[in-house]
Structure 1
């Protein structure tokens, strides 16, 4: 059972999040349940990987919420497709705010997970927000690291300076009403540098999982916030919650999962590697998602 809901944020931008809340089988509003916030990848929407994981976790007894980020999907906010990582992190806590208002949610048993950039934002939210009692990540991407250092960590920080310049130029032309899209995944199959990122194109731009609310790009001005952003900032001090990191053995992004795992202060943390899986297969691959959920569900059941 699920319902479409709206969540008003207090992020200072006045956005309202479009979300879906999922209930476990036999839901009884007179009881209290643990809850999980599920955050989508950069460029994604709640109807894709986040909704898939949220639905499957609800089958294990959790109230779950998958939502569209501010400025994206069916959520409000201008400019459209803004990917401001600080606001995306705040969105996670805005959903926690909402969950604390529900009589059937135990406010001391709220966890959060995300996929790709949504996992990075989830980690950042948990660093800032101790109401999040347990953290799960799948195919984690720290969006700042990815844009600074490349998909496989082979670019030096300083070499990302041209992207900062691009973001600044986009801000200048934005005020002249110019359109400045910047791809978050390859927009054309021929743009993909490898098979893993070809699958990213396939996921967002073919019937595999395309959705009209997920165009696959962000505003170029977003680079101004992304390049200097670190989703793991102060994880060494403040990411103390139980942590489960799930990554594919063949994922080019694996290094970011390893980095969070190493940096997190949590004394209760584990890393699960899905053998044979790349980054994208953990979005919707039947075997890969089943394995991830088989780890996430007991983790959250134990920690919440």
Structure 2
């Protein structure tokens, strides 16, 4: 059973999150259940891969919530399509705030997972918020690393300085009035923009009937780069990411190095890395076999740790 809900955040930005809560089969509101927050990729919305994973995990006996980030999708907030990683991390904890108010959720059995940038934000939230008792990631992206170092990690940090200049120029332009031209793609906006076949799939996912959605335009405000370029989703993971951790990535994913980095840096003594052979970054979003394999790992992991 899935129900649309609204979650009022208390993070100081005054946004209301549009969300979908999923209940397990034969749900009984007189019982208590473990719960999982599911966070969408950068540029995504709850109706896409996050919702798919949330529905699947509900079948394993969890209350799950997939939601739209502040300033995005059906959630409130302006400017639209702001991708501020600190706010996106706070959104994860805002959903947990809501879960703690539900009498049928066991507050000591709340986990969180995410896909792509949503996985990086989930890790950051777990570092900050010990109410998260277990962490799962799929095709994880540390959005700061990606914008500093490139899809495959081959670019030096300092070489991202021109991107900060672009962000500064956008902020100056925005200060004089809204400018819809200050957009920056989170995935290739056209097939021709894709630098490789894997990212061509990202264009296909967001901009063709494969999984396009009217609330997911595929770009963010250029001013967002001011926060993103210097952001590290894994900051202080060596000290504070102590929760059980499951990382899932495809063997052919150009982004796998970011999952490797988080896994190495995590302080957790209970951490597992599952590689989906032959999968790339995007196939774990909606590929039937790939998602099935990922859920077959996530379900038992959260069952055992929550």
TM-score by length of 2: 0.99
**Unmatched 5+ residue regions in structure 2?**
none
Deviation of 1:178 (Å):
1.7
Matching residue of 1:14: 14
**Unmatched 5+ residue regions in structure 1?**
none
Q: Does 1:178 align with 2:179?
A: yes
Matching residue of 1:147: 147
The list of structure 1 runs, each at least 4 consecutive aligned residues, that deviate by more than 3 angstroms after superposition, is none
Matching residue of 2:197: 195
Distance 2:18 2:174 in 1: 26
- What are the superposed Cα offsets for residues 168-223 of structure 1, whole Å, 9 maximum, x if unpaired? 11000012222211000000001101110000000000000000000000000000
Spell out the pairing of 1:231-250 with structure 2 (5 A cutoff): 231-250=233-252
Which of 285, 288, 291 is matched with 1:289 structurally? 291
Matching residue of 1:114: 114
Matching residue of 1:301: 303
- What are the superposed Cα offsets for residues 75-119 of structure 1, whole Å, 9 maximum, x if unpaired? 000000000000000000000000000000000000000000000
Distance 1:22 1:148 in 2: 36
Distance 1:221 1:38 in 2: 26
Matching residue of 2:82: 82
Distance 1:76 1:159 in 2: 34
TM-score by length of 1: 1.00
Spell out the pairing of 1:1-304 with structure 2 (5 A cutoff): 1-176=1-176, 177-179=178-180, 180-304=182-306
Distance 1:278 1:225 in 2: 28
Report the secondary structure of 1:246's partner residue.
strand
Distance 2:175 2:47 in 1: 32
Report the secondary structure of 1:65's partner residue.
strand
Distance 2:195 2:147 in 1: 15
For this pair of structures, how many residues does the alignment match?
Answer: 304
Deviation of 1:11 (Å):
1.1
Report the secondary structure of 1:133's partner residue.
coil
Distance 1:106 1:118 in 2: 23
- What are the superposed Cα offsets for residues 56-91 of structure 1, whole Å, 9 maximum, x if unpaired? 000000000000000000000000000000000000
Distance 1:274 1:178 in 2: 42
Distance 2:11 2:188 in 1: 30
